[in-house]
A = this chain, B = another copy of it.
Amino acid sequence: MSHPTPGRPLSQTDRTRHQRLREQGSLDRSDLDAILKAGFVCHLGVTVDSNLLVIPTVYGTDGATLYFHGSVASRSLVASPDASVCVTVTHVDGLVLARSVFEHGVNYRSAMIFGIPRLVTDPEEKWTGLRCLTEQATPGQWDYARQPSRKELAATSLLALSLDEASVKIRSGAPDDGDTSDAERGLWAGVLPLQAHWGDLEPDPALSAHIKTPPHLANRQGVSAFGS
């Protein structure tokens, strides 16, 4: 398990240098951590059999490594073990409604991570990585549900991607055309926030009526998601 320095600023490489929107780039590792910890679904870009695929998949992070399921990506890993992937996590926070269409945009927090994923084969790391992945989506669930059997572990492929090379972009706040001549047009401008929250639990219809809802799930109802 790799342990790069979590306190270190993000390094710049050709692909993480922000060419378009420099003002929205962040080299602060705490921004990367916060974005990754706030979510649980990433978009994995990988080349499989010469086809570029962008696959939504569940992930977890311990601050130094991103863990994700590898069914599709591991096919690619076998075919070309030195192939880079790009994993992107995005939280959409709202619509930026400017006076002009041209200045419209989106408030968001996004992280792109680059690297060559590693198939996790060490049993201890696989256990820890799967726990990390499960706990990130649903804290408390790893110890509540039945944990993986030896057979299930063998049927699961887990990939690890170091957080060494990453790019963070954040946009927040009001539109940028408040001090232009467009501001004299008398048009409303501002932000329409997008908010996410966890809804009311929906019990499996197959569930016996006497089974109680555990607190770690009951307490999550109505709680906001993605740090929005």
Contact = CB atoms under 8 A, between A and B. Distances in A.
Interface of A: 14-15, 19-20, 41, 43-49, 51-56, 58, 71-72, 84-88, 90, 92, 94-95, 97-102, 104-106, 108, 110, 112, 114, 130, 134, 137-138, 141-142, 144-149, 152, 155-156, 174-175, 178-179, 182-183, 185-208, 211-214, 217, 220-221, 225
Contact of A97 (B99, B138, B189, B200): B138
B97 A141 contact: yes
A194 B199 contact: yes
A185 B55 CA distance: 34
Given A145-B187, A188-B213, A191-B204, 13 more contacts: A45-B45, A45-B54, A51-B84, A51-B114, A94-B199, A94-B202, A99-B146, A101-B142, A178-B207, A188-B203, A193-B200, A194-B225, A195-B198
A207 B186 CA distance: 9
A110 to B, nearest CB: 5
A150 B149 CA distance: 63
A56 B193 contact: no
Contact of A190 (B182, B190, B201): B201
Contacts of A56: 43, 88, 90, 92, 108, 110
A194 B187 contact: no
A15 B51 contact: yes
Contacts of A148: 100-102
A156 to B, nearest CB: 7
